[in-house]
Amino acid sequence: MTSSIIPVGSRHARRACCVVLALVFGAAGCVVQDERPMAPVVAQKATAEIPQAELLDVGIRMFDPDIPPDPVEQEKRGIYPDVRKAESRYMPVLLRDTLESTGQWGQVRVLPAESSGSDLNIGARIVESDGSVLKLAVTVTDATGRTWLRKDYEGLADTRAYKDVPVKPRDPFDNLYATIANDVLAARYELTREQRVQVHQVANLRFASELAPYAFNPYLAHDPKRGTYAITRLPAEDDPVVQRMGRVHERDYALIDTLNEHYTNFGETIDDAYVNWRKYSHEELAAAADAKRKALTRGLLGAAAVIGGVVAGQNTNSSAGSAAATAAVIGGIYAFKSGLDMRAEIKMHDESLKQLGSSFQNEVQPSVVDIEGRTLELKGSAEQQYAEWRRLLRELYENETGLPATTAESTRPAAGKR
């Protein structure tokens, strides 16, 4: 009977292989993605009519795209500037649509900058957005300076939105927008009826005081340290100055509505391209993750085979054992090289994402709108254009009243008056 002799050194090889295999399966387990359908989050809808005095208007300013100036940092965080700039205009439209669908608010508009005339102002910074994950840092404040909400939101994409179906699916991050809407509504419920009414009154007075501080500053008290505003007294509703300001405010609403419509058109224009970009980005990220997993698995298995083969070869005296050990080493080297080849595939996926972002550039160019003979290009300078419009409104009011022009910056509501 021929007995099998197991070299003592092979135990070390087996141990080394076991350690590497443990790392392989541990690494493989880290990239498993849950593709199960998500339960939809529904934005709470109004069940009764809200009194007009308590119906708050909402202004959603363009999101902060949070693009680092360093291209290396952009690549590290997977940020494509053209796409991110488009998202900063597109995402507010989705949040606006969600809020409007609830019937819980007055007018909900997307703005190029925060407006003092809005009862409620919502802003957000895009922390991460790659088609698979969306992270937003959201801040909500009202006209009195009260902070309703300051919270970070994170949502995973509902991948059903990326399926090719005849009917347009939900946005992959609808759950996140619905969650924000419900949180803002919950914050509103924490206010008393009197506080909600005062928010609307303060918004009107802040708008008026910015255009005509000499006439409306006495009605407001501003605490610069706390950033809050309070009413000292209310002007008479039949005051000609108040009525004139009301007409100016209506003109401002007309511009804002035009801007809001622009953002709606912009969203509709890029919708298909953006949905495709997110879909492909999601697929590329999944493919890259799979390639990394395979590369790691092959590389570690190859290393294990090389280690085991070398150790076994050093501890065997038979030609058959030596040949097997040599074969293990060769096979291990091949597997390790295969892992390196997979890393080249990872680079290919990364380059594909870059190309997708670059090709999207032509899809995100803002359009130009004409308003009362003035051309506004809602691009990077949209905030400046809106500021210019507000300056013209101030001049318009001054011309109608015959009073000397005075900027809002030169006079502020008295601090500390209560």
22 inside domain: no
81 CA to centre of own chain: 13
201 inside domain: yes
Which residues span the domain enclosing 217? 52-269+405-410
252 inside domain: yes
Q: Are 67 and 126 in contact (CB under 8 A)?
A: no
pLDDT above 90: residue 64: yes
66 inside domain: yes
Predicted pLDDT of residue 332: 54
* Residue 291, SS3 per DSSP: helix
**Total number of domains constituting the chain:** 1
User: Which token pair is 5?
Assistant: 């002799």
Q: Rounded to an integer, what distance in angstroms lies between the CA atom of residue 413 and that of residue 416?
A: 9
78 inside domain: yes
- In this prediction, residues 48-73 reach a mean pLDDT of 93
Kindly report the pTM of this predicted structure. 0.70
333 inside domain: no
Predicted pLDDT of residue 327: 53
pLDDT confidence band for 412 (50 / 70 / 90): very low
- In this prediction, residues 52-81 reach a mean pLDDT of 91
Task: Out of 4-13, 278-287, 337-346, 376-385, pick the least confident.
Answer: 4-13
pLDDT, tens digit (0-9, with 9 covering 90-100), for 356-408: 555 444 444 454 555 555 565 545 445 666 777 777 777 767 766 665 545 44
276 inside domain: no
Q: Rounded to an integer, what distance in angstroms lies between the CA atom of residue 221 and that of residue 60?
A: 25
244 or 26, higher pLDDT: 244
Q: Rounded to an integer, what distance in angstroms lies between the CA atom of residue 328 and that of residue 333?
A: 8
Mean pLDDT, the chain, as a whole number?
A: 74
pLDDT above 80: residue 144: yes
Q: Rounded to an integer, what distance in angstroms lies between the CA atom of residue 119 and that of residue 357?
A: 37
User: Which token pair is 152?
Assistant: 């970070």
pLDDT, tens digit (0-9, with 9 covering 90-100), for 295-326: 555 555 555 555 555 555 555 555 555 555 55
pLDDT above 50: residue 129: yes
Q: State the angle between helix axes of 319-359 and 81-102 in degrees (0 to 180), rounded to the nearest 10.
A: 70
212 inside domain: yes
User: Which token pair is 99?
Assistant: 């809020």
